[in-house]
Amino acid sequence: MTFELHPNLQKKDFICDLDFCRVLFEDNRNYPWIFLVPRQENVKNMLDLPTPARLQLMREIERAETAMNRLFKPDQTNVAMIGNMTPQLHVHIICRFKNDAAWPKTVWSEKPIPYEPDEKQKLIKQIKQEILKDD
């Protein structure tokens, strides 16, 4: 099995690997935002995963979402699989706040604002620690 990230996902910062998924960071200071990417070959969308793999994905979404919630205490979390532009299954987990840049709309039409490099590295470390806490 050869797992390779789509070029659009290769650009994202690495946070950590879980048993089933790679966790990536979205460099957009408007929202705390991560991705879960199943470390499997040729998975375009959820239907390409057999049921047990889907259930494992659901467990890791729960784990990552719980960690993000503990860390950022958002008003709402958006969890989405879109994949129109990047044909490799990746789950968006996005913390939303009632005073954020797009609220109550979805985030995909807003222009991203990158973090300062130091701030980004600090955040990635915090998210990693929170997700791996229960290991």
Residues near its own copies (CB under 8 A) are 44-47, 51, 54-55, 57-59, 61-62, 65-66, 69, 76-85, 87, 96, 103-106, 108-109
**Helix (H), strand (E) at residue 88:** none
- Spatial CA neighbour of 15 closest among 28, 33, 31: 33
Q: Between residues 55 and 119, which has the closer beta carbon with respect to its own copies?
A: 55
Q: Between residues 97 and 115, which has the closer beta carbon with respect to its own copies?
A: 97
Cα 93-98-102 angle, rounded to 5 deg: 65
Work out how close the CB of 78 gets to its own copies at its nearest, in angstroms, rounded to a whole number.
5
Work out how close the CB of 75 gets to its own copies at its nearest, in angstroms, rounded to a whole number.
8
Strands 13-17 and 21-25: antiparallel
Q: Between residues 112 and 115, which has the closer beta carbon with respect to its own copies?
A: 112
Query: Hey, what are 107's tokens?
Result: 């985030």
How many angstroms separate the CA atoms of 27 and 33, rounded? 8
Work out how close the CB of 57 gets to its own copies at its nearest, in angstroms, rounded to a whole number.
8
Cis amide prior to 104 (ω within 30 degrees): yes
Q: Between residues 57 and 127, which has the closer beta carbon with respect to its own copies?
A: 57
How many angstroms separate the CA atoms of 68 and 27, rounded? 15
Work out how close the CB of 118 gets to its own copies at its nearest, in angstroms, rounded to a whole number.
31
